[in-house]
Amino acid sequence: MTEQQPEPQAENRQAAPEYRKRKRSGTTVIIAIAVLAVAAIVAVVALTAGRDNGEGGAPTGGDDGARGELTVGLQLEPGNLDIRNTAGVALDQILIDNVYQGLVGLAPGSVDEFVPVLAESLPEVSEDGLSYTFVLREGAAFESGNPVTAADVVDSLSSEDASFTLAAALGTAPAVSSPDERTVVIELEAPNSQLLWHLANRPGLIYETAFDGDLASATNGTGPYVLEDWKQGDSIAFAANDAYWGEPATLDRVIWQYIPDANAAVNAALGGELDVVAPVTSSFVSRFDGSDAFSLTRADSTDVFTRAYNSAKEPLDDPRVRSALSKAIDGEAIIEAFYGDGKALGGPITDLEPAYEDLTAVNDYDPEGARELLADADAEDLELTVTIPNFYPQEPIDQVVSQLAEVGVTLEVEAVEFATWLSDVYTAPEDGGPRDFDLSYVNHAEANDFVNYVTEGYYFGAVNEEARERYDAAIAATDGAEASQLIREAAALVAEDAPAKWLINYTPTNAVSTEVHGFPESNTNSRIPLEGVSIG
């Protein structure tokens, strides 16, 4: 999930207009449309809305300290807040950076530029790549008021009692020690080029050892915001952490409001109730035409709408069938179905990541070639089912259905609740048996997730052994350029093997009012860091 190249400038769909918002009592709402990322993997919709500063509400503030209230609407509400154990990119999007932090983090908009957070600086790394030494920042504290200690860091990074741990991410438990009260040393059995990435994400988050609350419904992080309230089925509210050790929060209060209907979100924005819609569902972008209230920006992202094959199941265990089903798809027509909100992609790595290579020629649109492959595999007149979360726009999957029909494949669409998608597609059966789905359609929003394609037991099914060998060599490399090249080679092998058809690198359009400043412009479906975001 990390890597980067210089980011291309996002195109503006229209010039940024002047914005005069309807006068109201002082909130802001952002909406983010939920998309999924897997490992779990839903992305979301963010919004800004205004709300009265009524009894019990935080003050909207003046020029000193935090100012204003930002409401962020999400389409898909998390089932709980335990980011240690609960899959779904919706949790990363709101909790990482804002509530929970690690020794290091990602620079805003980046997927591989690491910055120190709870550590004073980036680590000192031994020449053999086995030892990473961190010096802890002085004054950092949990929202409980207790200081962050080296013992907390050691316990957090040594834990094997959760789903998302450093040991699980690395494949083996590192030795984490504290030679003194401000120093933490991580020692590896073998070099791992992904260590900083893991430390900047879920496996590297730091928790207070002494905290005995329920993290499914409470938080105890070190970030600039704290959990104020959770009205399940409605909203999650953050308040500025007045005791934050770093730069003070620039907002008094943040409300993540769950609005599942994209049309309702746009109506609210045009009616003056929302300040940001991020992203605007592609088919609704034109409704902002002529509005002087918002600027529209198409953001680069690592979101990939992925039509995956269950390659552990006949006839999809035959690479000829998978290649045929991939060749049947006209990528340009898919981009048109997203109203231009995307780029063609021929493999599992986007152009924001340094291991990217243009693989669009692999299994490119060739309906005649698709028919020939299906005939060669004795797999003509196939009838298949695709399982899709029910909150995605209909137009792209309709394109997939019609294009497959042109090569003699009948595709039935089974639209389900996201929880059902997780249980029926993503989660391995408890009895160890194979998954039963045919095809899946979902948005993988997380960066640097190539490891999924070389991991036994992941929902794609079969693994290309040669690709896994290349990836393992990349992990062991101590040179970044060498690691990227090895992953690039592995990705090319995976693309040829066709465990999925990467339909589009989704580049969502965000609508942002001129009263909102500093709103992130990249990867907002994966993370919305609120540092520096202000209103007015």
Backbone φ and ψ of 515, nearest 5°: -85, -10
| Nearest in space to 10 (alpha carbons), one of 510, 519, 518, 526 | 510
**CA 456, 462, 465: angle at the middle one, nearest 5?**
75
pLDDT value at residue 23: 32
66-70, 226-230, 431-435, 522-526: range with highest mean pLDDT: 226-230
Q: Crossing angle of helices 367-376/319-327, nearest 10°?
A: 160
Rg (CA), the chain: 23
pLDDT value at residue 388: 97
Token couple for 286: 């034109």
Q: Which residue has the tokens 């294009």?
A: 403
Token couple for 185: 């040393």
Torsion of CA 159, 163, 168, 173, to 10 degrees: 10
- pLDDT tens per residue across span 133-178: 999 999 999 999 999 999 999 999 999 989 999 999 999 999 999 9
What is the widest separation between alpha-carbon atoms in the chain?
A: 72
- pLDDT tens per residue across span 392-441: 989 999 999 999 999 999 999 999 998 899 999 999 998 888 899 999 99
CB 330 within 8 A of CB 38: no
| Those residues with Cβ within 8 angstroms of residue 404's Cβ, 6 or more apart along the chain or in another chain | 325, 328, 329, 384, 410, 411
Token couple for 8: 């291309």
pLDDT value at residue 27: 37
- pLDDT tens per residue across span 77-102: 888 999 999 988 889 989 999 999 99
pLDDT value at residue 24: 32
Could you tell me the pTM of the whole model? 0.82
Distance CA 140, CA 471 (A): 37
DSSP 385: E
Asked whether residue 75 carries a pLDDT value surpassing 80, the answer given is no
Token couple for 300: 């680069």
CB 244 within 8 A of CB 98: no
- Which 3 state secondary structure label does DSSP give 140? coil
Report which secondary-structure segment, H or E, holds 440. Answer: strand 439-444
Q: What is the mean pLDDT of the chain?
A: 86
Q: Which residue has the tokens 């039509």?
A: 307
Distance CA 467, CA 488 (A): 10
